Amino acid sequence: MKSKLNPTQKLVLSAIIMALYIAILFVSQAISFGAVQMRLATALYGLTYIFPFLVVPLSLANAIANSFGGLGLIDVVGGFCASFLATGSIYLIRKIKLSSWFIILPILLIPSLVVPIWLSALLKLPYVALVINLILGQIVPAILGAVLVRELTKRGYKD
């Protein structure tokens, strides 16, 4: 993986990362759904800084994982969209050659600002309260995502 990946390698890596995202979310589901959530799996969004082809697979993984959450189709579709915005933003951070530390911002802010749009309606809770809870819950995954990318980059991993 330290050199250019061929299409088969990209497909396999995409499947592995999707499975890892879903598995992490599944084993941590007690803290991953609802008004207060810490989605450790969103740390994997940072991988799109190194491997931009993971934008769609990570978004699909989020949609699949949200199907376990019990909030229905709006959470599945909304989760896909929020993930796509976050991972797409991380790709743009790479494209404009910003430091990988900047990936903390989309991992922290996009899910925290977008997800409460439908959660507030579904859970009958105030939008601002949900934003605050989600921001607090995303701090750890955002930092983990940046550290993961820094460590992999130091070791020569790149697309």
Look at residue 33 and tell me if it is in a domain. yes
Look at residue 2 and tell me if it is in a domain. no
Instruction: Give 131-150 pLDDT, tens digit per residue.
Output: 999 999 999 999 999 999 99
Spatial contact of 32 and 38, defined as CB atoms under 8 Å apart:
yes
Instruction: Give 58-117 pLDDT, tens digit per residue.
Output: 999 999 999 988 888 999 999 999 999 999 999 999 999 999 999 999 999 999 999 999
Tokens of 67: 């199907």
Domain that holds residue 28: 7-154
Burial of 155 (0-12, 13-18, 19+ CB in 10 A): exposed
Look at residue 65 and tell me if it is in a domain. yes
Confidence of residue 128 (pLDDT cuts 50, 70, 90): very high
Considering the entire predicted model, what is its pTM?
0.91
Look at residue 1 and tell me if it is in a domain. no
CA neighbor of 116 nearest in space, from 130, 105, 129: 130
Region label for 34, one of left (φ > 0), alpha (ψ between -120 and 50) or beta (otherwise):
left
